[in-house]
Structure 1
Amino acid sequence: MSAGSISRRVRFAGVACAAAALLSGCISAAAGPNGTYATPIGNAPVTANPTPYSAALYCMADYARRYSLPSPRIAVARISDYTGTVSADGGRQITGGASLMTMTALAKSGAHIVERYDTSVSEMELRYANNRLIGDEGPAGPGDTQFRRILAGQVPGSDFYIVGGITEVNYNIRSGGFDAAGGEATSNTPLSVAFAGKSYVMNIAIDLRLVQTTTLEVVDVISYQKQIIGREISAGVFDFLNGNVFDISAGEGGLEPVQLAVRALIERATVEFMANLYGAPGPEVCLGAGPDPLGTVGPTGGYYPAYPNTDTNNGETRADPGRWHDRRDGAVRRSRY
């Protein structure tokens, strides 16, 4: 082996060792003064988590306050994932928190919510109070402890509840892409270049219903779907220069958040539910004047007025799932009361 070859190998080994030392320098075998081995990367702040329909929900709350429209007491039952999809790592592909998203959407719309999803703490304290194990401060102030009393009718009942589930996940509704490569075959320093791009579309759907608690009558039904897009782009270069091999590649990809799509579907359905309960005539109570840019697409599901307000509620506009979308058209704005 020549002296030059040995020297190159020594230099390469030195560079590799230096790179390894640089990478390991960020991690210590002994914990620092703050009790950690390393400082976590990333400093993104906590932000709000709206969807394109959040503004319409806030506007429904403004509409109800402006006209002093009372909200019925609404509970949320289990809204489960009925698709049965499982991710590659074995976990559920679709969120199990759809019920929690629905509660948040109801709160945005100004609804009066009563808890029925998780009553474990209330039920436990009720048992403790029934056995006189829970004490509350008496009228005499600190030191005057009395057992908590159970009063008939102290828990308000719900007027309506929302129940349903995530019913569809359809992968690869349509996909497409390209993959191209080229290079020199006769040159002493061959150069090859490759490009690739892929995209695909999937969708997710929900079916929700609004049920009157006392009669179990289904007064409203919503069925919506949302398409989700994913894409991937990559490029690479392979070359020999002066006996050295260079293989460089780069890429970029993204998938529209699936769980955020579930939240958008739920908020979109909640707008319809609350417009029904408030007796709102339609999107014109919140959105600017002008034609809907999406046009009429089709019915959303069975519709019955929750109250005898057919002449004033949103029944006439229920066949158009594109309304209330205040971010699709820049001319549409949220009303201010």
Structure 2
Amino acid sequence: MAASTSTRRSLARPIALACAAVLALGACASPSAGPGGLYATPIGNAPVTANPTPYSTALFCLADYARRYNLPSPRIAVGRISDYTGTVSSDGGRQITQGASLMAISALGKSGARVVERFDTSVSELELRYANNRLIGDGVHPETPDDPGYRRILAGQVPGSDFYIVGGITEVNYNIRSSGADLGGGRADGAGFSGVFRGRTFVMNIALDLRLVQTTSMEVVDVISYQKQIVGREISAGVFDFLNGNVFDISAGSSGFEPVQLGVRALIERAVLEMMANLYGAPGPQVCLDAANDPLGTFGATGGYYPAYNNTGTNNAQTRSDPSRWHDRRDGNVRRGRY
């Protein structure tokens, strides 16, 4: 009887701990919405940050160079930059980003290029059709009350492009080279502890082919092909031991894989950088050595924009890259004005 009671007591503690853990996990998510209307509060508080590549700094440096010397930018459009590799992941999705054209538009914005929209013209075409049927009104001006106020279509109101960029992602080569090592050790009789160490390195690459086409003549005036290698690493170690009838298995490790899609963005930014440097007539990277760069420029790591008001002193490309700006937990201005 005493042994049975002791056994029950020994089992009661782990069962109680398991129940407490279940209750604690249950408190994190509830089937009933709380006062704020949420079942659970999302974890994570990382702020929104800029998404530069090693070539972003050179892009907006090139934009400052063009503005400093009043170098005109041709009007450039971006067409389809497709994924021609056809790679598909195990869950059915694409391995390579389908947004390469959008990355090229952002890169052109960083370089200070004059960009005209040709990638998605659905809204403009719809409004043009509405305006042609006199369905869109811009309001009656008080000085001309007899004016019906509908939007007029003027000949030549849409600027044309001088050049456009097209191309595609043409290569994905997995496991160009891999290497690793496994080390393990322990006593042959099983006494004492045993340990294992494992390390792995993988290398793959992606490639891009872009071309710059003159719109009026459809002549290909520039062609660029680049590739970039991607590296991944994995390290793990563990210890296994028997101690006083108990089993201990302790392991730890870390792994990292260079972002493939960020590699695609780097390829595109390098290609756009070379094309725009040619169109600006820039001699090379030495243009970035000029100390006359405007620190309040409208080109930066997040792209370029045309200021609608004279507020570049407080709203410019540099402030757009600040991870604390507009964040309700990091920016005191937002906290003080919170409702």
- Same fold judged by TM-score > 0.5? yes
* Offset of residue 190 of structure 1: 4.0
Q: Which residue pairs with 1:55 in the alignment?
A: 57
* Offset of residue 149 of structure 1: 1.1
Q: Which residue pairs with 2:334 in the alignment?
A: none
2:7 and 2:196 map into 1 onto residues whose CA distance is 32
Q: For residues 187-221 of structure 1, what are the alpha-carbon distances to aligned partners after superposition, in whole Å with 9 as ceiling and x for unaligned?
A: 5x542211111110001110000000000000000
Q: Is the 8 A contact 2:81 2:167 kept in 1?
A: yes
Q: Which residue pairs with 2:96 in the alignment?
A: 94
| SS of residue in 1 equivalent to 2:247 | strand
Give the alignment partner of residue 128 of structure 1, picking from 127, 130, 140. 130
Q: For residues 25-57 of structure 1, what are the alpha-carbon distances to aligned partners after superposition, in whole Å with 9 as ceiling and x for unaligned?
A: 212221111111111111000001111101110
Q: Which residue pairs with 1:163 in the alignment?
A: 166
Counterpart of 1:221, as a letter, is V
Q: Is the 8 A contact 1:61 1:108 kept in 2?
A: yes
Give the alignment partner of residue 81 of structure 1, picking from 53, 60, 83. 83
Pairs within 5 Å for 1:163-202: 163-186=166-189, 189-202=191-204
| SS of residue in 2 equivalent to 1:118 | coil
2:154 counterpart of 1:147? no
Pairs within 5 Å for 1:1-337: 2-3=3-4, 4-140=6-142, 145-186=148-189, 189-287=191-289
2:245 and 2:117 map into 1 onto residues whose CA distance is 71
* Offset of residue 287 of structure 1: 5.0
* More RCO (CA 8 Å, sep 6+): 2
Gapped runs of 5+ residues in structure 2? 291-339
Q: Is the 8 A contact 2:76 2:114 kept in 1?
A: yes
| SS of residue in 1 equivalent to 2:149 | strand
TM-score scaled by structure 2?
0.81
* Offset of residue 10 of structure 1: 2.4
* Offset of residue 281 of structure 1: 1.7
1:211 and 1:167 map into 2 onto residues whose CA distance is 19
* Offset of residue 147 of structure 1: 1.4
1:197 and 1:174 map into 2 onto residues whose CA distance is 14
| SS of residue in 2 equivalent to 1:135 | coil
Q: Is the 8 A contact 1:136 1:145 kept in 2?
A: no
Question: What count of residue pairs does the alignment treat as equivalent?
Answer: 287
2:239 and 2:18 map into 1 onto residues whose CA distance is 23
* Offset of residue 242 of structure 1: 2.1
Task: Provide the identity percentage.
Answer: 73
**What is the CA RMSD across the aligned residues, in angstroms?**
1.8
* Offset of residue 230 of structure 1: 0.3
Q: Which range is displaced more, 239-248 or 137-146?
A: 137-146
